[in-house]
Amino acid sequence: MTPLITPADLADLAEVTVLDVRWKFGGPPDVDSYREGHVPGAVFCDLDADLAAAPGPAGRHPLPSAERFQEAMRRLGVSGSRTVVVYDGADSTAAARAWWALRHFGHPDVRVLDGGLRAWTAAGLPVSAGEETAPPGDFVARPGGMPVLDAEQALELASDGVLLDARAAERYRGEVEPIDPVAGHIPGAVSAPTGENVDPSGRFHRPDFLRERFNTLGAVPGVRVGAYCGSGVTAAHQVLALEVAGIPAALYVGSWSNWVADPSRPVATG
């Protein structure tokens, strides 16, 4: 089953929960854009509040507890027996975090609207303004549906497998670091900016294109693959792109913000 869905196919779904996960790096959540116009029936999902725990040594967007995630998803109308479609403005960066979190906590059918709201409106489909609520859902959160890495496992994977760094190349090289206190990357990690997963419209490239991209980076059959970024958001986009390509991958949720919280951990540049 593909993790992506087209606007036309979403419009044809009768039983579906739709989450609008528009979000800006550095916040605040993009609820104002949601109020201006969203997919009819969509409920706003706050990435910082609903898809992550409070920032700290575990990272800027650590995983919430199963209880907290379950409460948030039920409030947003999520049920385990109903398809969930998530979207953001265009490139699925924020939507991918929702897709990954729902999959990790055991939801069996989560899709990402390929191209986001931009693709929806480009298809001539209607939007609604204001805010919407959904009847409470019955989703039961059971962690373990998607593989995760801690810091030690990420370093090991960088040596024994392929660890993809999803950040911009200049952050990977350590030339700039606009958010975290230390610049650079996990030793042995491979630069793989998520911007190369999508075309200029924000839609994902074809599976064969993505498969070739990741194969070139070393993610070939029989090799374990993982991804990280600054705080586990764009790396979820990387895991989604890998799944589109048919390549399973683990997510280092704490990512660079967790890695540099311990000054004894090694840092590479260049």
Q: What per-residue string of b and e applies to 221-235 under the rule 16 or more CB within 10 Å gives b?
A: eeebbbbbbbbbbbb
DSSP state, residue 63: P
- The angle formed by the CA atoms of residues 154, 157 and 160, to the nearest 5 degrees, is 160
The residue whose two tokens read 């087209």 is: 6
Residues tagged active-site: 229
Task: Please name which of 249, 230, 181, 241 lies closest in space to residue 61, comparing C-alpha atoms.
Answer: 230
Distance CA 199, CA 118 (A): 13
Beta strand pairing call for 83-87 and 16-20:
parallel
Q: Quick one: CA torsion of 46, 198, 114, 71, rounded to 10 degrees? A: -20
The distance from CA 218 to its chain's CA centroid, rounded to whole angstroms, is 22
User: What are the start-end ranges of the E strands in 158-249?
Assistant: 162-165, 190-191, 225-228
Beta strand pairing call for 148-149 and 250-252:
parallel
Q: Which amino acid is at 107?
A: H
Please state whether the peptide bond connecting residue 28 to the residue before it is cis, i.e. omega within 30 degrees of 0. Answer: yes
Beta bridge partners of 18: 85
